[in-house]
Amino acid sequence: MDFTSIVITVGIGVSIYGWRRYIAGGWCCSQARLDGKTVIVTGSNTGIGKETAREFAKRGAKVILGCRNISKAQAAADDIKKSTSNDKVLVYQLDLSSLAAVKNFAERIIKGEERLDVLVNNAATAQAHRLETNDGLEMVIGTNHFGHFLLTNLLLDLLKKSSPSRIVTVSSDGYQWARRGIKFDDIHLKQNFTGFVAYGQSKLANILFTIELCRRLQGTRITANVLHPGAIRTDIIDHFVHHAFPLPFITIPIFQCMMWIFGKTVVQGAQTSIYCAVEESIATTSGVYFKDCAPTKLQDFAQDEKAAKRLWELSAEAVGLEKKLV
């Protein structure tokens, strides 16, 4: 290889490395400790949920992994304990697609824990075909929104008791796939289902839920924020490619290569969740959409306060919370 070829090769390598560093986005630089505090991270047996939980454990927190698959969650907990030397990492079963399971999880937390300082609503799913939960909810919004809506409401008293406390919900820029807003007349997409619309609507619901939750929490010392973690090389991306939004087989290697170049690692993807949970400068910030550890403006349709209130009322009825808890 001649000198020119070497220079070109090195230049390309440096450019790719620099680009990957650039798209990695913001980094949580807070050194805040969480000793004596208790946190819950849903969907934390893999991906950014696991790395978020690992960081909390590093900071001394008691960390509860709320996961559907107990064996995978226990393996994740063992790994976190080993890497952080923190034995206060617990596994509780939580299936967000089941309202009964959410209630059982919340009851166990309320009975067994004296405090709850941070709740990270991280778990999410995507589906290629329309499925229903046992409660008759469309599976994607049932898991991504309704399950977390119920869980958050059931744990509010404990969060208030432990205040100042924080609620952090992981959404996605995929909310823009629901540009026409929540389909209130067919929220379970019985008439026209596509994976993109279902996922986008559920992520928009996460945002509207946070906006209304923030309004209802005024006067308390609980903050509620929502975030986009970025395009991340995780299991859910593989699920998107192979199941939720299947690509032609020949394009999968190309997509995977593009994700390697442009996607974030799970550690990078967890940074905004960690930031929203521990950063001191946003201790009283609430109702904000974060991206790369910085506030980011939402599209107008995602800031609709009337839609947020309407979604809250619909959600309360859907999960059996007719009485306002906040």
Report whether 168 contacts 277 (CB < 8 A): yes
Q: How far apart are CA 227 and CA 111, in angstroms?
A: 30
Report whether 153 contacts 325 (CB < 8 A): yes
Phi, psi of 64 (to 5 degrees): -110, 120
User: Collapsing DSSP states into helix, strand and coil, what is residue 138?
Assistant: strand
Report whether 65 contacts 41 (CB < 8 A): yes
> Got the DSSP string for 171-238?
--GGGGGGTT---GGGTT-SSS--HHHHHHHHHHHHHHHHHHHHHHTTTSSEEEEEEE--SB-SHHHH
User: Which residue among 92, 175, 199, 275 is the active-site one?
Assistant: 199
Q: How far apart are CA 4 and CA 65, in angstroms?
A: 53
Between the alpha carbon of residue 112 and those of residues 92, 106, 107, 228, the distances in Å are: 11, 10, 8, 32
Residue 199 designated active-site: yes
- Residue reference for tokens 């928009």: 204
Catalytic residues: 199
